[in-house]
Every structure is written in structure tokens, then in C-alpha cells.
Amino acid sequence: MKILTGNDLKTGAVTWWNGNGWSLFVDDAADAGEDAEAIIAREEAARRVNAPYAIDAERTEKGVRPAHIKDRIRGLGPTVRPDLTLKPEDPQAVREVI
Amino acid sequence: MYQYDQYDQAMVDARVEEFRDQCQRRIEGKLTEDQFKPLRLMNGLYLQLHAYMLRVAIPYGTLSGRQMRALAGIADKFDRKYGHFTTRQNIQYNWIKLEDAGDILADLAKVEMHAIQTSGNCIRNISSDHFAGAAADEVADPRPYAELLRQWSSFHPEFSYLPRKFKFAVIASETDRAAMRLHDIGIQILKNDAGELGAAFYVGGGMGRTPMIAPCIRQFVPLDQLITYSEACLRVYNRYGRRDNKYKARIKILVHELGAEEYTRQVEAEFAHLLEQGIEPPLAELARIRTYFEDPAFDVGAADEIDRSDPDFAVWVDRNTHPHKQAGYVSAVISLKPVGGIPGDATADQMRLMAELAEDYSFDECRVIHTQNIVLPHVRKADLFAVWQKLEAAGLGTPNLDQVGDIIACPGLDYCSLANARSIPVAQRISERFAANGKGDTLGELKLKISGCINACGHHHAGHIGILGVDKKGVENYQLLLGGSEAEDTSLGKITGPGFSEEGIVDAVETAADVYLAQRQDGERFLDTYRRIGMEPFKEALYG
């Protein structure tokens, strides 16, 4: 699947296109398919996202998994600070992105 | 310490308001990201993996207690209660909001700090010897010259759009503690045969994807021509440095392609021209600056003995203090490398403690070291035990300066959008491995440096052992380098062979250390043994 990610303009937080707007959680990411570039252009122009780009990902039984480790780390948070990730209570979360 | 005059403060205050307005215009959509990006970068604001990142300039690494407290306050108020001290003697905050940027810069300006020229193709923060003004072996205090260069290079209109970023380092001793020859321009303040102070210029060094050691292009520039000669070096670079390819745009490429001799010839011609223009600031300005760096009121009767009856304290004294020019004093290094910790990170509370120690024990001064540690430059030997006890209680008393656990590591793929692999976890695992197996205490000086990409912010080329993280078909892979040095015996590390996995690189470092332990002769450091026996015994052990 093709998913879209970027950062919130004001806060810089990592966000993911969920089909209607931008979510903080990669598991909410929707398949943008062939509309990826059009969505990026529209959303960036409206300042609802900053520096967006499209990436490959797959939907697994545990959620949406970006193809590249860089985006998996973006989706979770720094692997060396589990307390600052989006899943601080899940000790397995860091291992699963690597 | 240098203190702002009305011009410095007015310039910084004006920049704060200008950038606050630019941020607001970006939020309101009056600026596109393409328009805004170069503006935010000029103010040290990057967009990294998880959020905006702000890099704050710390000129030659020097901070007062008040400034360190302000940095702690920013960590508490605007970030996640910590900061990361960098290999450029700066600090970075990883979780900054664009809407807070103006307020943060305003807080910095209140303590004579800013984030100007911490990014972009301009002259970056001037770095220097972290023991400046304290070291027993320096011929002069390099900080006034670093400060003069800072003032000259700040907002320099001719050098705001160089072909690429530009880094200076200034030292004033034969011992190089600032990686001077791995800078775009390295300046060594020295004395000539007549006993006059001047500056040797080394131009065209650097790490990154094309590491080079700077050649000396002039042995002695009189101090009243320091800025003029610097200007000449920059002018030739600005005129002929490549702008068509960012990977070939640093001055090291120009010096290499022209040849040091031809580059020097052009610099000398420009220098002669500039001398006629009379651009050098009057020596009175240097004298004015120098007054800010006079020695503090040392206790000349301070005891020169240290009570070493506590064995843990004695180890820390042996490893983490440096001789001082004043009897009864030492410079004390605070390690930001606890076993298994994140190199260079400090919590806001730890920053406040370091500020307190600077105020109470080091004439209100501390310094950031490019090795991502902090130094208290002037500590009475009689106060050392009290300082150490407070550091120990705060997790800052690790006795590992220049040991295998004192690892330089860039933020890597955990934070940096340029990185190809994570650096910090590798540093943590190596640190833990050598603490657990006890070998760390037997290895002596072993400088280990890790970068998460070819840009080499972790100085991997200059590590006795260097590690470079690469992306191998989407999987982190780590190359091992041996034999680098950023000291006065500058050398570039060589790659051992095929790379290793994350787990494999930890084993590989231990294997290299074992070869050293088996082969070392009396008094040899790892680097000395490597230079004597060469790469082959290490390759044999690593790859069989």
C-alpha cells in the first residue's frame, strides 16, 4: 500500500494521512493509492501538513508497517527513549520497528 | 567570559523579532515551506524525524552558570526535559514546536545566546580547545581569537551564502584537543623564533564523505593580520568553490583540486590586496576582547594535594581531570557517557547541577567539549571531592574520559533525517559490553566514534576505532574503521572490510580490542599498537 506522511506545521509532530485528515498514529494510515500526489499537493497547500511524502507500507495483523526503518522509527519515536515513544507502555514496540 | 556590548545585544534582539515574524507568516501561510526553510535554517531550526530540532550556538563551548540554567529552562519549558550536547560544542533540542521558536530565541537572547549560523552555508560556531585559559601547555589563551573570529563572521554579508558550510577551530597549544586539522580552517596560535605570537593556518580539512587532513598553508600570520588572512582564505573559496554539486562544495575539495600550493598562491595574492584595503580591526579591539578572558581570581595559596583515600574518587581524578596552569587547580571533566547511556544527553536537572557546580567551584564557567562532555575549567583540588560526590549522586561521575566508554555518537537514525542507521544503540551496547566484561578498565585510552551516516557528525574517521552506519537494502549495517585520530597526530581511519550487523559490530569492536590487548607493548595505546602492527592482524581476527 502507498501511505502518506509528513509533519504538523505548528508542532512538527509526525502525522499520517488517514483518508480524511492527519493522524498521529501510523496504524491509522490509509492507502492513498494513485491519489497520493494529488492529496499531497492539496493538503500541503492548505497547510494541514508540512513536508509530506509518500511511502510504501504493508498492513499486517499488528497494524501498518512502513517499508523502511526510518519511517517505522518516525511512526513510533526514538528507539533509545521508549518513554518518549507513542507506546511507552509496550516494551515490544521498539523491537518491532527495527 | 565575553559579554555582549549594545551592538551584540541589539543584533540578536532584532533577529529574534525578525524570526518570530517569519514563523508567524509561515503558520499563516504567507510563506511556503520552500521560502521558509532557508530562513529557519539560518536560525538553527531543522525539521528532523520526530519534530523540529533547534541547534543553539555555544561559542567555543563556553557557558556561564546562568546560561546553562537557561538551557535547562528551555528543556523544561519547551522540550522534553533534556538536551543533546553536540560534537560542535553546541546543544540541540529534539522536540521543538514552530509556534514556540520565537519565545525560545527570546529566552536565549536574555542570556546572550542565539541559534544564528548553526545551519546553512555560512561560517558556523567557532570551536576551540575546551581547556583554553586553563591548560598548562598553551602559549596563549585561544578564546580571544575565537571571539574575534565570531564577531567578524557573524552576519558577514560576503560569507552568508558560501558554496557550503564552513567551520573554524582555534587552538593555542601543540596538543590538539579540538580536531583542528579536520576543520575547513584550523588556526594554531603559536610563537615564532622571536617570541612573537602569530597564527598557523591549516586550510581544507574535514570529515564527511571525503575526509581530508588540512595542509598548513602558512606557518605564521601576525596577529594583527588574522582577520585579513581569514578573509582572503574565504574569498578564494567563495569565488571558486563549487556550487554545482553540494558533495564537492566544501573548501577541502577546492584545496585538493587546485592543489595546496596553487590555493595558497591565490590566497596570498588576495591577502596582499586586502592588506591595502585596511580591513583588519584595530588591535585595540582584540585588546578589548582579551579583557573578558583574563584569569579569574585564583587562590594562589590553594593546596596542591588531593586526598585520594577514596578509591573510586581516585580513579575519577586520574581519568577525568586535566593539569591546570595554576598550582592547586585542575580542570574537571563531567562525563555525559554513563554506562549504557545516550552520549551527550543531559537532563534539565543535570544541567542545573552543572550550572551550580560551575558557579560554586569553577568561577561561574563551564565548557562543552566536542566529545560531548562538559568541563569545569578551574576547580580547586581541595574542592574536587565535593564536586565528585555531587556528580556521582546525579549520575554524572562516570570515570571514563578518553576510555572506550567515552564514545562520541551522533543522534543517528533515532532522531536525524539524514541518518542511515542508528548510532546511539550501538554506543550503548559497546559501553555496556566493556563495562560488564571488565576490559574497559584495562584498555586505557581508546577513542571510539560512531556516525549514523557518511556526513560524519560522529567523527568516525577520527576514531581510534570508528563505526559508520550504512543502509544495506533497508537494513542497518556498520562498517568498522581503525587508526583514526583527531589529535595533533591527525590520521584518518581505514575500513577493515565488510560491514557488520548491529549485534556483530559490538563483537567486532571487542575482537579489535582483544587484538590490541594481546599485541600491545609497554605504554602503547590502541592507536600506537595499530600503527605498529598494521591492519592485517585485526583483519585476520575479524574475518578469519
Task: Tell me the per-residue pLDDT of B359-388, one tens digit each, with 9 for 90 and over.
Answer: 999 999 999 999 999 999 999 999 999 999
pLDDT value, residue B330 = 98
Residue B303: alpha-carbon gap to chain centroid: 33
Strand partners, A3: A55
Mean pLDDT of the region B208-227: 97
Sheet with B127-128: strands ordered across: B127-128, B168-171, B185-191, B197-203, B216-222
Report how far residue A51's alpha carbon sits from residue B436's, in angstroms, rounded to the nearest whole number: 44
pLDDT digits (tens, 9 = 90+) for B6-33: 999 999 999 999 999 999 999 999 999 9
| Chosen from B36, B50, B97, B432 to mutate, greatest number of chain A CBs within 10 A | B50
Does residue B221 carry a pLDDT above 90? Answer: yes
Q: What is the pLDDT of residue B62?
A: 97
B80:A84 CB<8 A: yes
Cβ distance B51 to A77 less than 8 Å, yes or no, reads no
ipTM tops 0.95: yes
Mean pLDDT across A2-14: 97
* pLDDT tens digits, B277-323: 999 999 999 999 999 999 999 999 999 999 999 999 999 999 999 99
pLDDT tens digit sequence for B98-116: 999 999 999 999 999 999 9
Sheet hosting strand A2-7, strand order edge to edge: A22-23, A14-17, A2-7, A50-60, A63-66
Average confidence (pLDDT) over A35-40? 98
Q: Residue B12, SS3?
A: helix
In chain B, the domains with their CATH numbers are 6-110 (3.90.480.20), 142-291 (3.30.413.10), 311-393 (3.30.70.3340), 408-543 (3.30.413.10)
**Which percentage of chain B shows pLDDT scores above 90?**
98
Phi, psi of B175 (to 5 degrees): -75, 125
- The stretches of A46-89 forming alpha helices (DSSP H) are 69-76
Task: Considering only the beta carbons, identify the residue of B49, B99, B502 that sits closest to A74.
Answer: B49
Using 50, 70 and 90 to split pLDDT, how confident is the model at A91?
A: confident
Mean pLDDT (chain A) is 96
Q: Would you list the domain boundaries of chain A?
A: 2-97
Q: Do residues B47 and B417 touch, judged by C-beta distance below 8 A?
A: yes
pLDDT mean over B414-433: 98
User: Is the CB of B96 inside 8 Å of chain A's CB atoms?
Assistant: yes
Mean pLDDT of B27-53: 96
Task: Mark which residues 62-81 of A lie under 8 Å from B by CB.
Answer: 67-70, 73-74, 77-81
Nearest Cα to Cα of residue A85 among A96, A93, A76, A72: A76
- In chain B, which among 458-517 make CB contacts under 8 A with chain A? 474-476, 502
Task: Residue A79: list chain B partners with CB under 8 A.
Answer: 414, 422, 425
Q: Hey, CA dihedral for B222, B162, B61, B420, is it positive or negative?
A: negative
Identify the three-state secondary structure at position A55.
strand
Looking at the DSSP assignment, which residues form a beta bridge with residue B449? B408, B466
Write out chain A residues lying below 8 Å of B49, CB-based.
Answer: 14, 70, 73-74, 78
Split at pLDDT 50, 70, 90, the class of B340 is very high
Name the H helices within B241-347.
251-258, 260-277, 283-290, 311-320
Q: With H, G, I as helix, E, B as strand and everything else as coil, classify residue B288.
A: helix
pLDDT of residue B22: 98
Residue B147 · residue B60 · CB < 8 Å = yes
Q: How far is CA B261 from CA B152, B231, B265, B310, in A?
A: 27, 18, 6, 56
Report the distance separating Cα B189 and Cα B140, nearest Å: 7
**Cα atoms in the 13 Å half-sphere on the side-chain side of B267:** 28
Shortest CA gap A49–chain B (Å)? 11
Candidates B134, B215, B130; CA nearest to B177 is B130
Q: What is the 3-state secondary structure (H, E, C) of B470-511?
A: EEECCEEEEEEEECCECCCCCECCEECCCCECHHHHHHHHHH
pLDDT tens for B130-149 read 999 999 999 999 999 999 99
- What percent of chain A shows pLDDT beyond 70? 100
Give the closest of B80, B98, B428 to A12, CB-based: B98
Q: What's the pLDDT at B113?
A: 98
Closest by CA to B2, choosing from B168, B128, B174, is B128
Whether B51 sits inside 8 A of A81 (CB atoms) is no
Q: How far is A90 from chain B (nearest CA, A)?
A: 18
| Chain A residue with minimum CA distance to B23 | A10
**B452 close contact with A: CB closer than 8 A:** no
Q: How far apart are the CA of B227 and the nearest CA of chain A, in angstroms?
A: 40
Does B40 contact chain A (CB < 8 Å)? no
Note whether A27 and A34 are within 8 A (CB).
no
CB A76 within 8 A of CB B415: no
Q: Which residue of A80, A83, A87 to mutate against B (max B Cβ within 10 Å)? A: A80
At B3, which amino acid appears? Q
User: Nearest CB to A78: which of B96, B99, B414?
Assistant: B414
Q: How many Å lie between the alpha carbon of A33 and the closest alpha carbon of chain B?
A: 22
Cβ separation B27–A81 shorter than 8 A: no
Neighboring chain A residues of B97 at a CB cutoff of 8 Å = 10-12
- In the predicted structure, residue B83 carries a pLDDT above the cut 90: yes
B51 CB near a chain A CB, below 8 Å?
yes
Sort out which chain B residues have CB atoms less than 8 A from A12's CB and list them: 47, 50-52, 95-98
The pLDDT assigned to B528 comes to 98
Q: How far apart are CA B93 and CA B79, in angstroms?
A: 7
**Chains A–B, number of C-beta pairs less than 8 Å apart:** 69
